[in-house]
């Protein structure tokens, strides 16, 4: 029976990072993953391929509509979708292959199959559905980390067929541009992929149950984003309760309460994600999940079972790849060194639409609800010199600071390269900066991060 010091179940961002860090710290580490390639949802069918398609589709759209004001006139711009998809796949292959290389470098043992707890310190690796793998093999370990991630959620009445009615996985690989794509869900997954196919020529209709898009984000920026997306040609039907979605002979039908059925070519179901915690044998070690299928953990990601830990999407908190990565590192470092932590007050999130939307810390809505006194400073990209030269001036930066201490409580940015600019705000909050601290940092000119500086000046009330 193979013995390891630490076994990670799941080879996504949390799992492979944890396994590599354990090996770096001298543990005999192993990782169990049911897919042939490592990287989890993020690298295979999530973060990376979606950003590749977002970038390619944006370049296509710019070539058709955005170069003339720069004095660049092009002939007919054509889409070669198969080449665009091939580029996306090449990026995925390169990155997933890189993880294999890191496993070999650090001598992390890889098990291909599904991991299942069979008792304290014991895990059985069952062969994947393909029949190729190491299982069934029983292995032992003093420490076991569950990092199995999440899977797409769905709704009653929706008949997923893995093709015309599908999830984000299918929407990353359509073999042709749909004439009409219906997106069920107005969150970041639906809007990112909806933006891709809208740019490539689809009519996109977004159905959202709530009266707003991007639940949980700053409502002020979400309202402004909605108007921008409408101008881009995306249709929104807010307050829509989807009751059914199915594929017919040569089309799809989507039904909403109180509305006429919608006929379309494809349906993207993007109503969130749910923890992947079934079939893990949790009951064999006395671990139970909560009403949302998540694994409850105490300090340092410990479950109720001795030696069993959980990180990433299977525990409470935002389902973000970088959250899982840092939890994996902190969990392993706590096991080995006695210290490891993640600052949950400074975890950034980015929506890669156009314009990008990025945030860290509390929203203005949360501050009002929690009755925390605050000051707000904003600065629009239309007044930023670098944004003007880029011909990309939509959006603004918002800094929220405590009214009494000036400590930065939240930063929200919508605009060009918002996902990059938010890193400065995250670092500032991590070190307990005030809005005046950010304002006094010398920012190069002309650059986009000057919008953050100007918003900080406004929040610190140094603005004239």
| Class in CATH terms, 349-459 | alpha beta
Which CATH number, 3.40.640.10, 3.50.50.60, 1.10.10.60, 3.40.50.150, labels domain 3-150+275-337? 3.50.50.60
Q: Is 166 helix (H, G, I), strand (E, B) or coil?
A: strand
d(CA 359, CA 340): 24
The domain segmentation of the chain, as residue ranges, is: 3-150+275-337, 165-271, 349-459
pLDDT number for residue 324 = 98
Catalytic residue among 180, 402, 417, 445: 445
pLDDT number for residue 464 = 47
Token pair 């014991």 is at which residue?
Answer: 122
pLDDT number for residue 396 = 98
pLDDT number for residue 129 = 60
pLDDT number for residue 338 = 97
pLDDT number for residue 463 = 57
d(CA 4, CA 139): 8
Could you give the residue ranges of the DSSP H alpha helices within 119-264?
A: 168-171, 188-199, 219-231
pLDDT number for residue 127 = 80
pLDDT of the chain along its 464 residues, tens only?
899 999 999 999 999 999 999 999 999 999 999 999 999 999 999 999 999 999 999 999 999 999 999 999 999 999 999 999 999 999 999 999 999 999 999 999 999 999 999 999 999 999 876 566 655 899 999 999 999 999 999 999 999 999 999 999 999 999 999 999 999 999 999 999 999 999 999 999 999 999 999 999 999 999 999 999 999 999 999 999 999 999 998 999 999 999 999 999 999 999 999 999 999 999 999 999 999 999 999 999 999 999 999 999 999 999 999 999 999 999 999 999 999 999 999 999 999 999 999 999 999 999 999 999 999 999 999 999 999 999 999 999 999 999 999 999 999 999 999 999 999 999 999 999 999 999 999 999 999 999 999 999 999 987 54
pLDDT number for residue 128 = 74
Give the Å distances, CA to CA, from 306 to 143, 285, 298: 9, 9, 12
| Known catalytic residue at 417 | no
d(CA 28, CA 276): 26
pLDDT number for residue 130 = 59
165-271 matches 349-459 in fold: no
37 Cβ partners below 8 Å, 6+ apart?
Answer: 43, 44, 96, 97, 100
119 Cβ partners below 8 Å, 6+ apart?
Answer: 284, 285
Task: Record the pTM.
Answer: 0.96
Provide the CATH number for the domain formed by 165-271 in this structure: 3.50.50.60
């Amino acid at each position: 029976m193979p013995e390891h010091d630490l076994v990670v179940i799941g080879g996504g961002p949390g799992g492979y990072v944890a396994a590599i860090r354990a090996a770096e710290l001298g543990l005999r580490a192993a990782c169990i993953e049911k897919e042939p390639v490592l990287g989890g949802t993020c690298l295979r069918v999530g973060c990376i391929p979606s950003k590749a398609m977002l970038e390619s589709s944006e370049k296509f759209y710019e070539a058709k509509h955005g170069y003339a004001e720069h004095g660049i006139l092009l002939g007919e711009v054509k889409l070669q979708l198969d080449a665009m998809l091939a580029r996306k796949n090449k990026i995925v292959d390169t990155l997933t292959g890189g993880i294999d290389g890191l496993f070999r470098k650090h001598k992390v043992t890889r098990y291909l199959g599904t991991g299942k707890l069979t008792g304290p310190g014991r895990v059985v690796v069952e062969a994947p559905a393909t029949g190729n793998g190491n299982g069934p093999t029983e292995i032992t370990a003093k420490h076991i980390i569950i990092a199995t991630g999440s899977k797409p959620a769905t709704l009653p009445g929706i008949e997923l067929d893995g093709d015309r009615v599908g999830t984000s996985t299918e929407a990353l690989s359509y073999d042709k541009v749909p004439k009409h794509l219906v997106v069920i869900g107005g969150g970041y997954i639906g809007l990112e992929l909806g933006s891709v196919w809208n740019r490539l020529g689809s009519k996109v209709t977004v159905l959202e149950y709530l009266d707003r898009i991007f639940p949980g984000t700053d409502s002020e920026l979400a309202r402004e984003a909605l108007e921008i997306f409408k101008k881009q040609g995306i249709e929104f039907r807010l307050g829509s309760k989807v009751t059914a979605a199915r594929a017919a002979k040569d089309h799809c039908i989507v039904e909403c309460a109180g509305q006429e059925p919608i006929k379309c070519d494809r349906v993207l179901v993007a109503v969130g994600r749910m923890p992947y915690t079934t079939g893990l044998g949790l009951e064999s070690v006395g671990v139970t999940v909560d009403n949302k299928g998540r694994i409850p953990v105490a300090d340092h990601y410990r479950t109720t079972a001795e030696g069993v830990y959980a990180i990433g999407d299977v525990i409470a908190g935002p389902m973000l790849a970088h959250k899982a990565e840092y939890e994996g590192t902190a969990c392993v470092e706590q096991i080995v060194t006695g210290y490891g932590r993640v600052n949950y007050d400074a975890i950034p999130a980015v929506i890669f639409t156009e314009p990008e939307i990025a945030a860290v810390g509390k929203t203005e809505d949360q501050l009002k609800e929690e009755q925390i006194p605050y000051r707000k400073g904003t600065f629009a990209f239309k007044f930023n010199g670098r944004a003007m030269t880029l011909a990309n001036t939509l959006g603004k930066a918002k800094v929220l600071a405590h009214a009494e201490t000036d400590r930065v409580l939240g930063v929200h940015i919508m605009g060009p390269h918002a996902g990059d600019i938010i890193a400065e705000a995250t670092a500032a909050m991590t070190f307990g900066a005030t809005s005046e601290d950010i304002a006094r940092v010398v920012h190069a000119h002309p650059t986009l991060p000057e919008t953050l500086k100007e918003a900080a000046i406004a929040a610190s009330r140094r603005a004239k």
